[in-house]
Amino acid sequence: MKCRKCGAKASVNMHQHKLALCKEHYLEWVPEQTERFIKKYQMFKRGDRILVAVSGGKDSLSLWDILVRLGYQVDGLYIGLGIDEGIGYSSESHRLAEKFANENNLNLHIVDIEKEYSQPIPVLAEISHRGHGKPCAVCGLTKRHVMNRIARDLGYDVLATGHNLDDEAAVLFGNTLSWSGEYLLRQGPVLPSTDGLARKVKPLCRFYEREMTAYALLRGIEYIYEECPFAEGSTSIYYKELLNKLETDRPGSKLTFYLRFLEARQSGLFVEHNVAADGDLPTYLHPCPNCGQPTSAPGLCSFCRLMEKVKAESNAL
Ligand code: SF4
Ligand code: ZN
Protein backbone atom coordinates (compact mmCIF):
# COMPACT_ATOMS: atom_id res chain seq x y z
CA MET A 1 0.00 0.00 0.00
CA LYS A 2 1.23 3.46 -0.88
CA CYS A 3 0.40 6.82 0.66
CA ARG A 4 -2.19 8.56 -1.47
CA LYS A 5 -0.48 11.93 -0.97
CA CYS A 6 3.20 11.18 -1.58
CA GLY A 7 3.46 7.58 -2.81
CA ALA A 8 5.74 6.53 0.06
CA LYS A 9 5.00 3.34 1.97
CA ALA A 10 1.69 3.73 3.83
CA SER A 11 1.62 3.39 7.63
CA VAL A 12 -2.15 3.44 8.06
CA ASN A 13 -4.68 1.87 5.74
CA MET A 14 -8.28 2.92 6.28
CA HIS A 15 -10.51 0.56 4.28
CA GLN A 16 -13.68 2.36 5.26
CA HIS A 17 -12.38 5.63 3.75
CA LYS A 18 -10.50 3.85 0.92
CA LEU A 19 -7.49 5.83 2.03
CA ALA A 20 -3.91 4.87 2.92
CA LEU A 21 -1.38 7.37 4.27
CA CYS A 22 2.27 7.44 5.36
CA LYS A 23 3.13 8.52 8.90
CA GLU A 24 3.76 12.15 8.02
CA HIS A 25 0.56 12.57 6.06
CA TYR A 26 -1.51 10.62 8.56
CA LEU A 27 -0.35 12.95 11.34
CA GLU A 28 -1.50 15.87 9.19
CA TRP A 29 -4.76 14.25 8.14
CA VAL A 30 -6.09 13.64 11.68
CA PRO A 31 -5.93 17.30 12.83
CA GLU A 32 -7.29 18.47 9.45
CA GLN A 33 -10.28 16.17 9.83
CA THR A 34 -10.76 17.22 13.46
CA GLU A 35 -10.83 20.87 12.42
CA ARG A 36 -13.38 20.01 9.76
CA PHE A 37 -15.66 18.32 12.36
CA ILE A 38 -15.21 21.22 14.83
CA LYS A 39 -16.44 23.62 12.12
CA LYS A 40 -19.15 21.34 10.72
CA TYR A 41 -20.79 20.82 14.11
CA GLN A 42 -19.92 24.36 15.32
CA MET A 43 -18.25 23.00 18.43
CA PHE A 44 -16.24 26.09 19.39
CA LYS A 45 -14.47 29.11 17.96
CA ARG A 46 -10.91 30.38 18.04
CA GLY A 47 -10.41 32.24 21.30
CA ASP A 48 -12.86 30.08 23.26
CA ARG A 49 -11.41 28.62 26.45
CA ILE A 50 -11.53 24.85 26.17
CA LEU A 51 -11.20 22.28 28.94
CA VAL A 52 -10.30 18.73 27.88
CA ALA A 53 -11.13 15.90 30.24
CA VAL A 54 -8.03 13.67 30.20
CA SER A 55 -8.05 10.13 31.53
CA GLY A 56 -4.48 9.21 30.57
CA GLY A 57 -5.84 7.08 27.71
CA LYS A 58 -5.03 7.43 24.01
CA ASP A 59 -8.18 9.28 23.00
CA SER A 60 -8.15 12.10 25.51
CA LEU A 61 -4.38 12.68 25.30
CA SER A 62 -4.53 12.64 21.50
CA LEU A 63 -7.44 15.08 21.57
CA TRP A 64 -5.44 17.45 23.76
CA ASP A 65 -2.45 17.09 21.43
CA ILE A 66 -4.55 17.72 18.31
CA LEU A 67 -6.32 20.80 19.70
CA VAL A 68 -3.00 22.30 20.79
CA ARG A 69 -1.52 21.59 17.35
CA LEU A 70 -4.52 23.31 15.80
CA GLY A 71 -3.75 26.41 17.88
CA TYR A 72 -6.68 26.29 20.31
CA GLN A 73 -6.47 27.54 23.87
CA VAL A 74 -6.92 24.36 25.83
CA ASP A 75 -6.25 23.16 29.38
CA GLY A 76 -6.67 19.66 30.79
CA LEU A 77 -8.66 18.22 33.67
CA TYR A 78 -7.62 14.96 35.27
CA ILE A 79 -9.96 13.32 37.79
CA GLY A 80 -8.24 10.89 40.18
CA LEU A 81 -10.78 8.15 40.85
CA GLY A 82 -8.74 6.22 43.39
CA ILE A 83 -9.08 2.92 41.49
CA ASP A 84 -5.82 1.24 42.32
CA GLU A 85 -6.75 -2.40 42.73
CA GLY A 86 -4.53 -4.69 40.64
CA ILE A 87 -2.61 -2.71 38.05
CA GLY A 88 -2.74 0.64 39.84
CA TYR A 89 -4.96 2.09 37.14
CA SER A 90 -5.47 5.52 38.70
CA SER A 91 -1.84 6.12 39.73
CA GLU A 92 -0.56 5.17 36.30
CA SER A 93 -3.11 7.22 34.39
CA HIS A 94 -2.39 10.18 36.67
CA ARG A 95 1.34 9.86 35.99
CA LEU A 96 0.81 9.76 32.22
CA ALA A 97 -1.58 12.72 32.17
CA GLU A 98 0.91 14.80 34.17
CA LYS A 99 3.82 13.67 32.05
CA PHE A 100 2.03 14.75 28.87
CA ALA A 101 1.13 18.14 30.38
CA ASN A 102 4.70 18.77 31.62
CA GLU A 103 6.39 17.71 28.40
CA ASN A 104 4.15 19.99 26.38
CA ASN A 105 4.06 22.86 28.85
CA LEU A 106 0.32 22.65 29.30
CA ASN A 107 -1.93 23.50 32.19
CA LEU A 108 -3.52 20.48 33.91
CA HIS A 109 -6.11 20.75 36.69
CA ILE A 110 -6.19 17.77 38.99
CA VAL A 111 -9.15 16.77 41.14
CA ASP A 112 -8.54 13.89 43.53
CA ILE A 113 -11.91 12.40 44.43
CA GLU A 114 -10.70 10.89 47.68
CA LYS A 115 -9.20 14.18 48.88
CA GLU A 116 -12.16 16.21 47.85
CA TYR A 117 -15.04 13.92 48.74
CA SER A 118 -13.43 11.89 51.56
CA GLN A 119 -13.56 8.49 49.78
CA PRO A 120 -12.30 6.98 46.49
CA ILE A 121 -14.84 5.91 43.87
CA PRO A 122 -15.08 2.22 44.86
CA VAL A 123 -15.96 3.20 48.45
CA LEU A 124 -18.42 5.90 47.35
CA ALA A 125 -20.07 3.23 45.21
CA GLU A 126 -20.31 0.83 48.14
CA ILE A 127 -21.89 3.46 50.34
CA SER A 128 -24.41 4.40 47.67
CA HIS A 129 -25.60 0.81 47.04
CA ARG A 130 -26.05 1.79 43.40
CA GLY A 131 -24.90 -0.14 40.34
CA HIS A 132 -25.18 -3.79 41.49
CA GLY A 133 -21.66 -4.10 42.89
CA LYS A 134 -20.02 -2.16 40.03
CA PRO A 135 -18.80 1.37 40.72
CA CYS A 136 -19.52 2.62 37.18
CA ALA A 137 -22.84 4.35 37.89
CA VAL A 138 -21.35 6.33 40.78
CA CYS A 139 -18.13 6.90 38.84
CA GLY A 140 -20.03 8.35 35.88
CA LEU A 141 -22.18 10.53 38.12
CA THR A 142 -19.15 11.86 40.00
CA LYS A 143 -17.09 12.52 36.86
CA ARG A 144 -19.97 14.43 35.25
CA HIS A 145 -20.47 16.49 38.39
CA VAL A 146 -16.77 17.36 38.73
CA MET A 147 -16.30 18.17 35.04
CA ASN A 148 -19.27 20.53 35.11
CA ARG A 149 -18.17 22.13 38.33
CA ILE A 150 -14.60 22.82 37.19
CA ALA A 151 -15.68 24.05 33.75
CA ARG A 152 -18.19 26.44 35.30
CA ASP A 153 -16.13 27.63 38.29
CA LEU A 154 -13.02 28.28 36.23
CA GLY A 155 -14.93 29.99 33.42
CA TYR A 156 -14.32 27.60 30.50
CA ASP A 157 -16.54 28.03 27.46
CA VAL A 158 -16.59 24.40 26.53
CA LEU A 159 -15.77 20.96 27.87
CA ALA A 160 -14.27 18.52 25.34
CA THR A 161 -14.10 14.76 25.78
CA GLY A 162 -12.20 12.16 23.77
CA HIS A 163 -15.13 9.90 22.80
CA ASN A 164 -14.38 8.21 19.48
CA LEU A 165 -16.70 6.64 16.90
CA ASP A 166 -16.55 3.22 18.56
CA ASP A 167 -17.67 4.75 21.88
CA GLU A 168 -20.46 6.73 20.25
CA ALA A 169 -21.68 3.86 18.09
CA ALA A 170 -21.80 1.55 21.14
CA VAL A 171 -23.82 4.08 23.16
CA LEU A 172 -26.11 4.65 20.19
CA PHE A 173 -26.56 0.91 19.75
CA GLY A 174 -27.58 0.56 23.41
CA ASN A 175 -29.97 3.50 23.24
CA THR A 176 -31.49 2.17 20.04
CA LEU A 177 -32.02 -1.32 21.45
CA SER A 178 -34.10 0.22 24.22
CA TRP A 179 -35.41 3.15 22.12
CA SER A 180 -34.46 5.57 24.89
CA GLY A 181 -35.90 8.69 23.29
CA GLU A 182 -34.49 11.13 25.79
CA TYR A 183 -30.96 9.74 25.49
CA LEU A 184 -31.13 9.52 21.70
CA LEU A 185 -32.15 13.14 21.59
CA ARG A 186 -29.19 14.18 23.69
CA GLN A 187 -26.56 12.07 21.94
CA GLY A 188 -24.47 14.00 19.45
CA PRO A 189 -21.18 15.79 18.83
CA VAL A 190 -22.42 18.85 20.74
CA LEU A 191 -24.53 19.21 23.85
CA PRO A 192 -25.37 22.91 24.19
CA SER A 193 -24.85 24.63 27.51
CA THR A 194 -27.78 25.12 29.81
CA ASP A 195 -28.05 26.96 33.10
CA GLY A 196 -25.40 25.44 35.34
CA LEU A 197 -24.00 23.06 32.69
CA ALA A 198 -21.06 23.66 30.40
CA ARG A 199 -21.31 23.14 26.64
CA LYS A 200 -19.98 19.65 25.83
CA VAL A 201 -18.30 18.59 22.61
CA LYS A 202 -16.76 15.42 21.16
CA PRO A 203 -14.33 16.42 18.42
CA LEU A 204 -13.15 12.81 17.82
CA CYS A 205 -16.62 11.32 17.38
CA ARG A 206 -16.03 10.46 13.72
CA PHE A 207 -12.68 8.71 14.17
CA TYR A 208 -12.53 4.95 14.56
CA GLU A 209 -10.84 3.71 17.69
CA ARG A 210 -8.04 2.15 15.64
CA GLU A 211 -7.43 5.49 13.93
CA MET A 212 -6.91 7.11 17.33
CA THR A 213 -4.60 4.30 18.43
CA ALA A 214 -2.57 4.83 15.26
CA TYR A 215 -2.42 8.58 15.92
CA ALA A 216 -1.21 8.17 19.52
CA LEU A 217 1.41 5.59 18.53
CA LEU A 218 2.72 7.53 15.53
CA ARG A 219 2.86 10.75 17.57
CA GLY A 220 4.76 8.91 20.31
CA ILE A 221 2.20 9.78 22.97
CA GLU A 222 2.66 7.59 26.03
CA TYR A 223 -0.78 6.50 27.29
CA ILE A 224 -2.26 3.86 29.56
CA TYR A 225 -3.01 0.70 27.55
CA GLU A 226 -5.01 -1.04 30.24
CA GLU A 227 -8.68 -0.36 30.68
CA CYS A 228 -10.06 0.40 34.12
CA PRO A 229 -10.39 -3.02 35.85
CA PHE A 230 -14.12 -2.42 36.31
CA ALA A 231 -14.67 -2.09 32.56
CA GLU A 232 -14.32 -5.84 32.12
CA GLY A 233 -17.56 -7.53 31.18
CA SER A 234 -19.38 -4.23 30.69
CA THR A 235 -22.29 -3.89 28.32
CA SER A 236 -20.52 -1.20 26.33
CA ILE A 237 -17.59 -3.54 25.63
CA TYR A 238 -20.04 -6.22 24.55
CA TYR A 239 -21.74 -3.79 22.15
CA LYS A 240 -18.35 -2.73 20.81
CA GLU A 241 -17.49 -6.36 20.07
CA LEU A 242 -20.77 -6.88 18.24
CA LEU A 243 -20.22 -3.75 16.17
CA ASN A 244 -16.66 -4.83 15.42
CA LYS A 245 -17.97 -8.08 13.96
CA LEU A 246 -20.32 -6.11 11.78
CA GLU A 247 -17.53 -3.75 10.75
CA THR A 248 -15.27 -6.66 9.75
CA ASP A 249 -17.92 -8.03 7.40
CA ARG A 250 -19.05 -4.65 6.17
CA PRO A 251 -16.36 -2.00 6.49
CA GLY A 252 -17.82 1.43 7.13
CA SER A 253 -21.04 0.24 8.79
CA LYS A 254 -20.16 1.74 12.17
CA LEU A 255 -19.65 5.15 10.63
CA THR A 256 -22.82 4.88 8.55
CA PHE A 257 -24.82 3.83 11.62
CA TYR A 258 -23.65 6.92 13.52
CA LEU A 259 -23.85 9.44 10.67
CA ARG A 260 -27.32 8.32 9.53
CA PHE A 261 -28.48 8.72 13.12
CA LEU A 262 -27.14 12.28 13.23
CA GLU A 263 -28.95 13.04 9.98
CA ALA A 264 -32.20 11.58 11.31
CA ARG A 265 -31.85 13.60 14.48
CA GLN A 266 -31.16 16.74 12.49
CA SER A 267 -34.26 16.20 10.41
CA GLY A 268 -36.40 16.06 13.56
CA LEU A 269 -37.03 12.32 13.88
CA PHE A 270 -36.72 12.64 17.64
CA VAL A 271 -38.74 15.51 19.03
CA GLU A 272 -38.28 16.94 22.47
CA HIS A 273 -41.57 17.49 24.25
CA ASN A 274 -40.34 19.72 27.03
CA VAL A 275 -38.71 22.19 24.69
CA ALA A 276 -36.76 25.00 26.29
CA ALA A 277 -35.59 28.31 24.90
CA ASP A 278 -31.89 28.41 23.98
CA GLY A 279 -29.75 28.17 27.08
CA ASP A 280 -32.70 27.56 29.42
CA LEU A 281 -33.38 24.31 31.20
CA PRO A 282 -36.04 21.98 29.80
CA THR A 283 -39.07 22.15 32.09
CA TYR A 284 -38.39 18.76 33.72
CA LEU A 285 -35.06 20.00 35.09
CA HIS A 286 -34.36 22.45 37.90
CA PRO A 287 -31.11 23.64 39.49
CA CYS A 288 -30.01 21.59 42.52
CA PRO A 289 -30.44 23.83 45.60
CA ASN A 290 -27.01 22.78 46.86
CA CYS A 291 -24.64 22.75 43.85
CA GLY A 292 -26.70 24.54 41.19
CA GLN A 293 -26.31 21.80 38.57
CA PRO A 294 -29.51 20.81 36.74
CA THR A 295 -31.39 17.77 37.97
CA SER A 296 -34.69 16.05 37.32
CA ALA A 297 -34.78 14.63 40.85
CA PRO A 298 -37.03 16.40 43.32
CA GLY A 299 -34.82 18.40 45.73
CA LEU A 300 -31.08 17.72 45.69
CA CYS A 301 -29.34 16.28 42.59
CA SER A 302 -28.16 12.64 42.66
CA PHE A 303 -24.58 13.67 43.36
CA CYS A 304 -25.45 15.87 46.34
CA ARG A 305 -27.73 13.14 47.67
CA LEU A 306 -24.83 10.70 47.42
CA MET A 307 -22.62 13.13 49.36
CA GLU A 308 -25.29 13.43 52.09
CA LYS A 309 -25.30 9.66 52.39
CA VAL A 310 -21.49 9.57 52.63
CA LYS A 311 -21.56 12.22 55.35
CA ALA A 312 -24.24 10.37 57.29
CA GLU A 313 -22.29 7.08 57.08
CA SER A 314 -19.04 8.67 58.26
CA ASN A 315 -20.84 10.37 61.16
CA ALA A 316 -22.35 7.03 62.14
CA LEU A 317 -18.89 5.39 62.37
FE1 SF4 B 1 -15.37 4.44 36.17
FE2 SF4 B 1 -13.87 2.31 35.62
FE3 SF4 B 1 -16.52 2.10 35.50
FE4 SF4 B 1 -15.20 3.53 33.67
S5 SF4 B 1 -15.06 1.33 33.99
S6 SF4 B 1 -17.06 4.16 34.73
S7 SF4 B 1 -13.53 4.42 34.90
S8 SF4 B 1 -15.30 2.53 37.30
ZN1 ZN C 1 -26.29 19.07 43.63
Contact 209, 165 (CB under 8 A): yes
> Residue with the nearest Cα to atom 3 of ligand 1?
136
| Among candidate residues 122, 142, 149, 82, the one with its CA nearest the CA of residue 305 | 142
- The whole-number pLDDT of residue 114 equals 96
Question: Is 288 within the bounds of a domain?
Answer: no
Measured in Å, residue 287 CA sits from the centre of ligand 2 at 8
Long-range contacts, 129-138 (Cβ 8 Å, 24+): 134/230, 134/234, 135/83, 135/230, 136/230, 136/234, 138/306
Question: Is 39 within the bounds of a domain?
Answer: no
Task: Compute the average pLDDT of residues 262-284.
Answer: 69
Q: Could you report the per-residue pLDDT of 35-88, keeping only the tens digit for each?
A: 999 999 999 999 999 999 999 999 999 999 999 999 999 999 999 999 997 789
Measured in Å, residue 301 CA sits from the centre of ligand 2 at 4
- Residue 104 CA to residue 241 CA, distance in Å, equals 35
| Among candidate residues 51, 19, 239, the one with its CA nearest the CA of residue 155 | 51
In sequence order, the β-bridge partners of residue 109 are 77
Rounded to the nearest angstrom, the gap between the alpha carbon of residue 175 and the centroid of all alpha carbons in its chain is 17
Enclosing domain of residue 173: 45-281
- Residue 205 CA to residue 13 CA, distance in Å, equals 19
Question: Is 125 within the bounds of a domain?
Answer: yes
Question: Is 13 within the bounds of a domain?
Answer: no
Contact 48, 74 (CB under 8 A): no
Contact 97, 87 (CB under 8 A): no
Question: Is 240 within the bounds of a domain?
Answer: yes
Domain count, the chain: 1
Task: Compute the average pLDDT of residues 177-206.
Answer: 90
Q: What mean pLDDT value characterizes the chain?
A: 92
Question: Is 38 within the bounds of a domain?
Answer: no
- pLDDT tops 70 at residue 276: no
Q: How far is CA 165 from CA 125, 168, 240, 248, 255, in A?
A: 29, 5, 10, 15, 7
Measured in Å, residue 170 CA sits from the centre of ligand 1 at 16
> Residue with the nearest Cα to atom 8 of ligand 1?
136
Question: Is 267 within the bounds of a domain?
Answer: yes
Question: Is 301 within the bounds of a domain?
Answer: no
Rounded to the nearest angstrom, the gap between the alpha carbon of residue 137 and the centroid of all alpha carbons in its chain is 15
Query: Binning pLDDT at 50, 70 and 90, where does residue 282 land?
Result: low
190, containing H or E segment: strand 190-191
> Residue with the nearest Cα to atom 7 of ligand 1?
228
User: Of 103-112, 124-133, 227-236, 285-294, where does mean pLDDT reach its minimum?
Assistant: 124-133
Return the SS3 of 126. helix
Ligand number nearest to the C-alpha of 93? 1
**The CATH number of the domain where 251 resides is what?**
3.40.50.620
Residues with CB under 6 A from ligand 1: 135-136, 139-140, 228, 230-231
Measured in Å, residue 194 CA sits from the centre of ligand 2 at 15
Query: Binning pLDDT at 50, 70 and 90, where does residue 289 land?
Result: very high
Task: Compute the average pLDDT of residues 191-208.
Answer: 91
Q: Could you report the per-residue pLDDT of 9-40, keeping only the tens digit for each?
A: 999 999 889 999 999 999 999 999 999 999 99
| Atom number of ligand 1 nearest to Cα 121 | 8
